[in-house]
A and B are shown apart, each in its own frame.
Chain A
Amino acid sequence: MLEAKFEKNLWHFNIEFSLKLDNKILVLCGPSGAGKTTILHCLAGLVSPDTGDICLNNRLLYSSKNKINTAAKDRNIAYLFQNYALFPHMTVKQNVYYGLKSRKARNFNFYVEPIKWLDTFGIKHLQERYPRQLSGGEKQRVALARALAVQPQLLLLDEPFSALDKSNKLNLRQEIKKLHDNWQIPFILVTHDEEDANFLGDIVLEIDQGNIRRMTTKP
């Protein structure tokens, strides 16, 4: 369960965001420059809001009142970047294991069988390749495998389909939906495509100028 209510002043407008989300897919939809990515950055801890609270599964991650601001690395929130941000100097395997090494060093209580993990995402045959040798769809699968390997409690996806062509996009849209069914954690997805929003979103929030303009909930 994610509960967030925060404000962030940008130079041209203010973001006001409030939300309660259980294990559903929430879509933030709106024109570019509406503040969607900044909202994700605030949730992930890459940017600090000005006031408010962010609480994930009863863990208070940010609270301006209590002066709590958990670092991004300790939030256990996965982030899929717009161009996937796969580390170009590492192979697929090294990319996917990157987060596992961090956690292992700090004795987190889980262990993922690496090869099995790559297989789950259908990227085992790519494990020795570098990101520049992958197609758009393969890149996204690697990025998802990397993000979910650290067993996050929330997955944020920033324009996940913008780098893909139409047929790839329809496939991966389906895959994300399936992934969500298996995973049982909240997903928050940013898009400016209404069709994507309607297909994936259990809840769709239309964002403009940093404010929630309309909320649509699927029955």
Chain B
Amino acid sequence: MIFHIQDWFPVLLSIKVAFIVVIIVSILGLPLARFMARNNFYGKDIIEAFLTLPLVLPPSVIGYGLLLLIGKNSILGQFLASLGITIIFTWWAVVMASTVVALPLMYQSAKGAFLSVDQNYEKAARTLGASEMRIFFTITLPLAWPGIVAGLVLAFARALGEFGATLMVAGNIPGQTQTIPLAIYFAVAAGDDTTARSLVAIITIFSFFVIYGVNRWAKKQKV
């Protein structure tokens, strides 16, 4: 058989993780990007560089960094262990690794989008009595929308394809932390070409339709 998948778990896990990551990076990235786009303060450049760092560092460095942060011997890891929580080598570690590498993409896109919104619109809304919260949701966000959608798509794609950092903090545990990219790698290593080929086809087709669909949808939203 050309295409055959015995274990659908990696497919479901990858999609689940990618959606959760998109939600997390939206909640973290959007307010952060808006804040950095509209405020200047001492040390801003340092924070900016720090936020962009995961984009340029090798995934193995990020994985090792996360191991130091939440590993069994770290302070945070031991604290969590005392509460009965383990992150490392669970699917939450997959989410964590993907979030760290996807956040800079969301942040950069959203910041660029917010910067492109003419501040006079926000000022006008302010003189019309709108609260900052209302201004964000009714003026800034809709006007920055195309750039934000681009950020969401990039973050989703990055989360779906995350390999190196995930391998280091979550391992390759079939049925627990094995995502599509990991499953492909280990299928190829084991000479299981059918599985590898099938997973490659699935992730390619799925990614294509997500990007295509989001772009179509974003185009319709634009006035």
Contacts and interface: CB of A to CB of B under 8 A. Distances in A.
Given A99-B129, A102-B129, A88 B123 contact: no
Interface residues on B, range: 10 to 19
Contacts of A205: none
B120 to A, nearest CB: 4
A44 to B, nearest CB: 6
A10 interface: no
A36 to B, nearest CB: 16
Interface residues of A, number: 27
Interface string B118-148: 1011011111111100100011001100000
A88 B143 contact: yes
Contacts of A77: 127
B127 A73 contact: yes
Contact of B127 (A79, A87, A130): A79
B223 A72 contact: no
Contacts of B125: 87, 98
Interface in B2-29: none
Contacts of B129: 73-74, 76, 99, 102-103, 106, 150
Nearest to B128: A99
A214 interface: no
B123 A46 contact: yes
Interface in A142-180: 146-147, 150
A85 B123 contact: yes
A81 B125 CA distance: 11
A43 B1 CA distance: 76
Of A81, A106, A146, chain B has the most CB atoms within 10 Å of the CB of: A81
Nearest to B122: A85
Contacts of A46: 123, 126-127
Contacts of B130: 73, 98-99, 102
Nearest to B145: A89
Interface in A73-127: 73-79, 81, 83, 85, 87-89, 98-99, 102-103, 106
A78 B223 CA distance: 27
Of B121, B129, B131, chain A has the most CB atoms within 10 Å of the CB of: B129
14 contacts: A45-B127, A72-B123, A72-B127, A81-B120, A81-B123, A81-B124, A85-B121, A89-B142, A89-B143, A98-B128, A98-B130, A99-B129, A102-B130, A130-B223
Interface of B: 118, 120-121, 123-131, 134, 138-139, 142-143, 223
Given A45-B127, A46-B126, A72-B126, 6 more contacts: A46-B127, A78-B127, A87-B125, A98-B128, A102-B130, A146-B128
